[in-house]
């Protein structure tokens, strides 16, 4: 590997990259990312507690699921957000929880079986399709779609030296391109007037605000942004990172 390639990957490149984005805030943010996560017990309505980041609950609740809705959780594993959506439906409507990975899908099934009461499982279907192609076989079906996209997950990176050692900006670009394809598919699956929540646990603007800008250029005039939020652990009592945007599909 050449010197220039080495300079573009690994911990030093990671810190240079995010120092340019966050400036003097970066050292404190990096320390907060390296601290142990603080999952919270999600209790109400479950057979037993499920622990997840409080920011994740906020993102799932932002979807505004109502009893009777047809809901798609496009990248559902490991399953925390699916639990939030299923409880909101309370056994009514339909919830499709999808994940392409067989291993992650197996974990999703276990989370559902272990935590949801039986009456909240009867309307839930676990599937394993390619999220980037969903709109090809189901168009304008769902009232609510959640896309918690696979992302750079920098909090995991800073706590995993092996993964951080091979980090490079090209990985972020690849994940952002994949997320854009998924977001387009999610919009196609959504009914006119329906609501879509796009979320990531990334701190990269390229996967968050920047991706919304690309989405606006790729699907102009089809949707409006209702709200967007970014919770970072240095200013959110250890919660996050989590970015989420609430999108409405125009009639």
| Mean per-residue pLDDT pooled into runs of 10, the chain (251 residues) | 60 96 98 93 92 94 98 97 97 98 97 97 97 92 98 95 94 96 98 98 98 98 98 95 98 93
* Closest CA relative to residue 72, chosen from 168, 166, 26, 140: 140
Q: What is residue 184's predicted lDDT score, i.e. its pLDDT? A: 97
In the set 75, 120, 151, 201, the catalytic residue is 201
Residue 8, in any domain of the structure? no
Residue 24, in any domain of the structure? no
Residue 157, in any domain of the structure? yes
Residue 22, in any domain of the structure? no
Instruction: Count Cβ atoms within 10 A of the Cβ of residue 44 and give its class: 0-12 exposed, 13-18 middle, 19 or more buried.
Output: exposed
- Per 3-state DSSP, the chain is made up of helix, strand and coil in percentages (nearest 5) of 45, 20, 35
How much is the pTM?
0.95
Q: What is residue 172's predicted lDDT score, i.e. its pLDDT? A: 94
Q: List the CATH number of the domain containing 120.
A: 3.40.50.150
Q: Give me the number of domains the chain comprises.
A: 1
Q: What is residue 38's predicted lDDT score, i.e. its pLDDT? A: 85
Phi and psi, residue 243, nearest 5°? -110, 135
Q: What is residue 7's predicted lDDT score, i.e. its pLDDT? A: 61
Domain ranges, residue 206? 38-249
Residue 1, in any domain of the structure? no
Residue 104, in any domain of the structure? yes
201 assigned to active site = yes
| Bridge partners, residue 190, by sequence | 142
Residue 88, in any domain of the structure? yes
Residue 61, in any domain of the structure? yes
């Amino acid at each position: 590997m050449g010197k220039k390639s080495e300079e573009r990957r690994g911990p030093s490149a990671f810190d240079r990259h995010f120092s340019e984005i966050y400036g003097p805030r970066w050292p404190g943010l990096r320390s907060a990312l390296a601290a142990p996560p603080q999952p919270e017990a999600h209790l109400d309505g479950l057979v037993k507690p499920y622990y997840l980041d409080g920011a994740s609950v906020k993102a799932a609740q932002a979807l505004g699921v109502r009893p009777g809705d047809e809901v798609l959780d496009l990248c559902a594993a490991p399953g925390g957000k699916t639990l939030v959506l299923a409880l909101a439906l309370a056994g009514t409507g339909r919830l499709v929880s999808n994940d392409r990975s067989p291993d992650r899908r197996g974990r999703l099934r276990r989370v559902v079986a272990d935590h949801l009461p039986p009456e909240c499982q009867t309307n839930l279907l676990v599937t394993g399709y390619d999220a980037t192609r969903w709109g090809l076989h189901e168009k304008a079906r769902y009232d609510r779609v959640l896309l918690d996209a696979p992302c750079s997950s920098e909090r995991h990176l800073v706590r995993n030296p092996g993964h951080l050692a091979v980090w490079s900006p090209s990985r972020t670009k690849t994940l952002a391109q994949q997320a854009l394809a998924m977001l387009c598919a999610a919009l196609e699956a959504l009914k006119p007037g329906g609501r879509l929540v796009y979320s990531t646990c990334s701190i990269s603007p390229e996967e968050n605000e920047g991706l919304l800008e690309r989405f606006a250029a790729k699907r102009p005039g089809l949707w409006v942004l209702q709200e967007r939020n970014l919770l970072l652990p240095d200013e959110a009592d250890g919660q996050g990172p989590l970015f989420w945007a609430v999108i409405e599909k125009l009639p």
